[in-house]
Amino acid sequence: MSDPRKEHVLVWDIPTRIFHWTIVVLVAVSWFSADNGYLRMHLWSGLTLLALLLFRVLWGLLGSTTSRFTDFLHPPRKVMAYLRGHEKSLYAGHNPAGGWMVAVMIGVLLAQAVTGLFSNDGLHFTGPLALWVSDDVSTRITGLHGTIFNIIVVFIWLHVVAVGFYLLVKNHNLVGAMVTGKKHPHLVPAGLNLSFTRLYIALLLLALTAGIVAWVFFQGVP
């Protein structure tokens, strides 16, 4: 009888999984709060989002193997080969196309969070740094903030479609892997050797980014 402990391989660390699902919740909260005029909730959701995104950037440099940008950001030639079906390699983490989607999504969400700092609702609410720029500039940034959100909606749709494709066509449950952190051995390269950064490093990085965002917030407090 096979050992059940060897049926799946751990590929995603806890910080990466928590980050992923927390971002999902925060984007939903930001969407809901903006649509319903709960701007205080929208502010805190955006600030939390910014802290987590900054953490993810640092985690992409210092985190576990599959969380690092060097692991999943491949040259354009390799991405195109993968999309055309010419690239048959297995990947423990993100494949070449998915890796760039993750990187672009992080960049777009960062742009959304940063523009929110300078935005206003035209009435009573202003972002923490809105007073640092003129009213005209703040209004322009607010418009950009709304445009970026529309781009985020498109990326969310593409992400859902891609996840559905992998599940229904390739029988590869990406959602399950991001919940448990594990993949079946036939979905990862043979002789896989991953390193996992200790959890306390993640906590220190999160404390650092939370501190940065708190400092930014208090710059706008009279």
User: What is the predicted pLDDT for the residue at 42?
Assistant: 94
SS3 track for 133-175: CCHHHHHHHHHHHHHHHHHHHHHHHHHHHHHHHHHHCCCCCHH
pTM: predicted TM-score of the whole model, two decimal places: 0.91
By residue range, what is the domain housing residue 67? 4-219
User: What is the predicted pLDDT for the residue at 219?
Assistant: 82
**Grouped pLDDT means (10 residues each) for the chain, 222 residues:** 63 97 97 91 96 98 97 93 83 92 96 95 82 91 94 94 89 91 89 93 98 90 58
Closest CA to 16 of 51, 48, 64: 64
Burial classification of residue 157, based on how many CB atoms lie within 10 Å of its CB (0-12 exposed, 13-18 middle, 19 or more buried): exposed
Long-range contacts (CB closer than 8 Å, 24 or more residues apart) made by 94-101: 94/66, 96/72, 98/72, 98/162, 99/71, 99/72, 99/73, 99/74, 100/73, 100/74, 101/155, 101/158, 101/159, 101/162
Give CA–CA dist 125/138, Å, rounded. 12
What's the token pair of residue 141? 């940034």
Number of domains in the chain: 1
User: What is the predicted pLDDT for the residue at 5?
Assistant: 47
Contact 74, 96 (CB under 8 A): yes
How is residue 26 annotated by DSSP? H
CATH code, domain carrying 53: 1.20.950.20
User: What is the predicted pLDDT for the residue at 56?
Assistant: 98
